[in-house]
Amino acid sequence: MLDKQADRTVRLPLRSEMTPRLLTAASFVREGAVVADVGTDHAYLPIYLVAAERATRAVASDINEGPLARAESNVQRFGLADRITTRLTPGLTGIEALSPTDILICGMGGELIASILEAAPFVRSSEIRLILQPMTSTRELRLWLAQNGFAITEERFAAEKEKLYVVLCASYCGAPYALSEVDSYAGFGNDQPLYGEWLRRQIASLQKQVNGLAKAGREEPALCALVASLQEQLDAHERSLL
């Protein structure tokens, strides 16, 4: 996480806006980064990062005029217009010229995140860090990253009320690799406190599918085997905590 002094400096005006999900995404940003926040909405992330001096400068982009106007208003309100640029643009279009080092794409579906990355060849650089927080289709995003040569280096979780979010950190390694079915669901956050809860939710969702198919008189051995493998992984994770 950001150091306590910087965190205290900026958390005061953004206390209610910087949710655990956004703070978790912010924790992946490197010191001295040039940040691009795609789908910025209110620009809370770039404001937080620049005000805390984690990022030297940032670009806040959005495809819609309303959210971008809110972003511009907030940037002005915090006196950061000299360090945060706003752009009305789809995805990462036109962002390469601003030389971002750390790219944040949060609050979108995993398949939309993948399509944004697909349309931006410049992200295929080992120097660029991708910080991705999918709202849905996390498995599909992991598979896309693997198939397109992006190494998933770390995953962290954030809990908000009844919801559990995962934030992925990835960078281009240049070589596509195979991701097992189990890993595509389980992910790579086994050192995180909320990993067990993440696995339990994956298992519950898949078991619901198994039960629904069984009621319809259909058996899916591969799906049952997947559930069993995830349960084994959960059991091993819980044993490691004893």
Sign of the CA dihedral with 118 first, then 181, 186, and 202 last: positive
Query: pLDDT of 61-111, one tens digit each?
Result: 999 999 999 999 999 999 999 999 999 999 999 999 999 999 999 999 999
Query: Is 154 inside any structural domain?
Result: yes
Q: 179, 208, 227: which is the final residue of a domain? A: 179
User: Does 22 reside within a domain?
Assistant: yes
Clarify whether residues 32 and 81 are in a common domain.
yes
72 by DSSP, 3-state: which?
A: helix
Decide if 60 is inside a domain. Answer: yes
Q: What was the pLDDT predicted at 24?
A: 97
Could you tell me whether strands 150-160 and 163-172 are parallel, antiparallel, or unpaired per DSSP bridges? antiparallel
Are residues 115 and 63 located together in one domain of the fold?
Answer: yes
pTM value surpassing 0.85: yes
Question: Does residue 107 lie within any of the structural domains?
Answer: yes
Confidence of residue 153 (pLDDT cuts 50, 70, 90): very high
Distance CA 214, CA 207 (A): 10
Domain that holds residue 228: 197-240
Residues 136 and 204 in one domain: no
CATH number of the domain encompassing residue 56: 3.40.50.150
Same domain, yes or no: 99 and 218:
no
pLDDT greater than 60 at residue 8: no
Domain count, the chain: 2
Nearest to 29 by CA among 94, 122, 106, 119: 106
Per-residue pLDDT, 189 = 94
Tokens, residue 238: 């819980």
Check residue 17 and give its pLDDT: 82
141 and 211 co-located in one domain? no
